[in-house]
Structure 1
Amino acid sequence: MLKHISSESILAMEKQNRVHLVNSLGGFKSVSLVGTTDGEGHTNLAIFSSIFHIGANPPLMGLIFRPTPPERNTYNNILKTGYYTLNHINESIYKQAHQTSARYDKSVSEFEVTGLTPEYKEDFLAPYVSESHVQLGLVFKEKMDIATNDTTLIIGEIVHIYLPEDCIGADGFVCLEKANTVTCSGLDSYHKTVQLDRLSYAKPDKEITSLLSN
């Protein structure tokens, strides 16, 4: 029998319990490190799980920012410079990645305190995480304020992709297991993944088949 939790019960919960409950309900999520710079030599690195695909032509990704205060250095850097990176987290760096969620002063680089390595390529202004196996360089395209809960959606276009050659198939599909990419649930739970199947494009009156058997 399923437990019922009403909206009244949710709002009556202790704050942290409510936060953990609601954040877990979205299921497994993409989690990445966002690398930025203020353009004056100061780097910033922050973990985000509110990342999602928006479109493929042009290739767009969305990123949700919670209300300020506190001051959001990543948000400010993106708006100031127009450049940022998304770096997949793997089993080797998930603890260091989690540590970037601590509220450091703007003068402190999360790269330095976690021991992760900033990497610059192709004259791109924002730093990548050298230890990440899948790295994306994005340019800022649009900002949308969400009045319902005072959050902000940042939309960026992917202009650079770096990943292991054996992770990308002939049809462009990226095998995240080969890249050792991890996922998360809630705010603090990290998970390895196992591919269950990959299915053919669904059409009326056509049987779905497994692409893994081809």
Structure 2
Amino acid sequence: MKYFNADDIKQMHHLYRINLINSCTGYKSANLIGTKDKNGNSNVAVFSSVTHMGSNPGLIGFFTRPTTVIRHTYENIKETGYFTINHINSSIIEDAHHTSAKYAKTVSEFDTTKLSEIYKNDFFAPFVDGCKVQLALSFLEEYHIKANDTILVVGQIEGLYVDNTALVKDGFIDLSTINSATINGLDAYAVPQKNTRLEYQRPKAGYKTRDEK
């Protein structure tokens, strides 16, 4: 097994380091975040940092890079207070990845790809048409990460759309049935084909539980 210590990582060529560190945590969620500014300019961009933060209330977070350069997604969210999260599936991977290109604010990625924006239930921000899981969120709060100058954006779920074929009786969303994609590193996409669900785990007989220690 190849070993890298902290000095090895620090001295790496920057592209090698970026690829290594971005992929060492394993598969990440693959999502498109849709926003719109007050002038009606829509934006959609790929993010691999979306994460669950709580179920009651339903909170979702994502990290955005430093704002030392223009970040249209972040700016639109702060300006309007609304955004959507849309699962990337196998049929839109190439167009979804292209949304990482740096266009001017007045150029919508919906116009430069085959992705289509759609509006639902009078929600301000655009959804991505054809995505099998879509979330409507309102901006709640943000946290500045001093270590690398990134920002954790926290949103509250205002609405959730799930394809009927993926929704299981107990509320579980089986992403393998709708070809939801994941991201490995920065630019590699995978489509899981199977889920293995396990029961809630309880201590084995004969061992102390946490309350007994």
Q: Same fold (TM over 0.5)?
A: yes
Tell me if the contact between 1:51 and 1:64 (Cα under 8 Å) persists in the aligned partners: yes
- Offset from partner CA, 1:63-94 (integer Å, 9 cap, x none): 10111222100000001111000000011100
Deviation of the 1:196 alpha carbon: 4.6
4+ residue segments displaced more than 6 Å: none
Q: Whole-Å Cα distance in 1 between the matches of residues 47 and 195 of structure 2? A: 25
Tell me if the contact between 2:176 and 2:195 (Cα under 8 Å) persists in the aligned partners: no
TM-score, L = length of structure 2: 0.94
1:190 aligns with 2:189: yes
Deviation of the 1:170 alpha carbon: 1.1
State how 1:167-206 maps to structure 2 within 5 Å. 167-205=166-204
1:85 aligns with 2:84: yes
Q: Which amino acid aligns with 1:182?
A: A
Tell me if the contact between 1:61 and 1:157 (Cα under 8 Å) persists in the aligned partners: yes
Q: Which amino acid aligns with 1:45?
A: V
Farther off after superposition, 151-160 or 192-201: 192-201
Q: Whole-Å Cα distance in 2 between the matches of residues 79 and 193 of structure 1? A: 34
Q: SS where residue 20 of structure 2 aligns?
A: helix
Tell me if the contact between 2:95 and 2:115 (Cα under 8 Å) persists in the aligned partners: yes
- Offset from partner CA, 1:81-115 (integer Å, 9 cap, x none): 11000000011100000000011111110011012
Q: Counterpart of 2:209? A: none
Tell me if the contact between 1:23 and 1:186 (Cα under 8 Å) persists in the aligned partners: yes
Q: Counterpart of 1:132? A: 131
Q: Whole-Å Cα distance in 1 between the matches of residues 66 and 193 of structure 2? A: 35
Deviation of the 1:131 alpha carbon: 2.1
Q: Which amino acid aligns with 1:12?
A: Q
State how 1:151-170 maps to structure 2 within 5 Å. 151-170=150-169
TM-score, L = length of structure 1: 0.93
State how 1:10-29 maps to structure 2 within 5 Å. 10-29=9-28
Q: Which amino acid aligns with 1:141?
A: L
Q: Counterpart of 1:71? A: 70
Q: Counterpart of 1:43? A: 42
RMSD of aligned alpha carbons: 1.0
Q: Whole-Å Cα distance in 2 between the matches of residues 171 and 199 of structure 1? A: 14
Q: SS where residue 158 of structure 1 aligns?
A: strand
- Offset from partner CA, 1:108-157 (integer Å, 9 cap, x none): 10011012110001110000000211111111111111111100000001
Q: Which amino acid aligns with 1:27?
A: G
Q: Which runs of 5+ in 1 are unaligned?
A: 207-214
